[in-house]
Chains A and B, each alone.
Chain A
């Protein structure tokens, strides 16, 4: 790589007592409160469960995780760092350093899973597969090209699509295992990653929208067109990648629904309307409830019969400043 990495040309001492955008403080605090390390998750409790998977299922799981490792590595060492020179406030720069570090924690956590569950040879084989799989490499290359490009807004689009869309062909599998009561500790760890990526995608998408306010209407239209083109390009590749991974276990169609659902959320993070219609985003309820136990629509008064709805289930965690 011969390109010179772009760095900030001028830095002033950051003053956290002069805030230009409250969102920077809010997200910084959220990220700090969410901080975690893989060592806190009892992964070794999954050893027995791991051995109930067939060799094919084990191989699939390892491949999925090396694919996710690659994305986290890119986001940690290039993606989040590439956003720093374009930051609108010094506090935004600081948030990106937090995001970059956390992506490196995510990348490392997959290695914790591997060393707990697999042999060195299996690990090496899976990493070799990640280098050799065309569609995985292509997805990495598409995103990397934009990170090295000279358009700040396009970099944020690529980054948000990575955080909020590209991970999900991989995240599907641990949620699937979890819904079948397999690798549940691994799933707990992945849920922590999923939570982080939501805040990252939300924040980068928010900063994208702030940046969009500063450009002309023509430029805004150009960026919108570009966003949908890039999403389509990544989507087509993602479908291929999904087939590479999941055809052998017959889950590809189920995974694609999850892709559509998350593509919509990625667009919303960028301030655009959802694109995929409800008919193709009907994620398997078991996957959705593995992701969030509250996502089941029967929880809702509007969706349920209403009669069975119980008001006021106990919530024992409260903030101090309630007056009642």
Chain B
């Protein structure tokens, strides 16, 4: 049904570009948002609802993605993040992933980060639980700084 498809595409809001080097997803629990805010760096949030304008990365970035449980990986990556990564430009610019979760989820702890790292061939840089501890914030800030420096040196 081509007519329907066109109508649907037309209804989609235009993508919003971001130059942030940190892009994250957070559900209404806001755990991941709280963690990202504690980092104190510029960051862009992947929209929660399909009716919102999609996010488009325009610079290399690291993705912060939570896992809410599940078993054997299925359903681990939030639909919104799948939608975001289905855009080839977003996929081309991802450089690493940071996972959030809860060790209570056993094998599935930070599984979304593992899945994205494997699919996009980028390193799973770090894992933290819930909204992260002060030590997590410190390690990620230091780690990201080193990571971006190393990447920029490689490109020279």
Contacts and interface: CB of A to CB of B under 8 A. Distances in A.
Interface of A: 21-23, 26, 30, 33-34, 191, 194-195, 197-199, 202, 206, 209, 264-265, 268-269, 271, 273-274, 278, 281, 288, 291-295, 297, 299-303, 309, 311-319, 321-324
Given A301-B123, A318-B115, A33 B103 contact: no
A269 B130 contact: yes
Contacts of A311: 117, 121-123
A294 B110 contact: yes
Contacts of B121: 311-312
B86 A324 contact: yes
Contact of A199 (B69, B115, B133): B69
A302 B134 contact: no
Contacts of B142: 302
7 contacts: A199-B69, A271-B131, A288-B103, A300-B125, A321-B79, A321-B82, A324-B88
A247 to B, nearest CB: 26
Contacts of B82: 319, 321-322
Nearest to A290: B106
Contacts of B103: 288, 291-292, 295
Contacts of A268: 31, 129-131
Interface stretch (B10-18, B39-47, B51-59, B70-78): B70-78
A324 B120 CA distance: 9
A323 B77 CA distance: 14
Given A300-B127, A313-B118, A322 B86 contact: yes
Interface string B134-145: 110001101100
Contacts, number: 146
Interface residues of B, number: 56
B122 to A, nearest CB: 7
Given A300-B127, A301-B96, A278 B114 contact: no
B69 A30 contact: yes
B109 interface: yes
A264 B133 contact: yes
Contacts of B140: 302
B106 to A, nearest CB: 5
A33 B71 contact: yes
B77 A319 contact: yes
B114 A294 contact: yes
Given A292-B103, A302-B139, 20 more contacts: A21-B28, A34-B71, A195-B104, A198-B69, A206-B29, A268-B31, A278-B134, A292-B104, A292-B105, A300-B124, A301-B147, A302-B140, A302-B142, A311-B117, A315-B114, A318-B115, A319-B74, A319-B79, A322-B82, A322-B86
B107 interface: yes
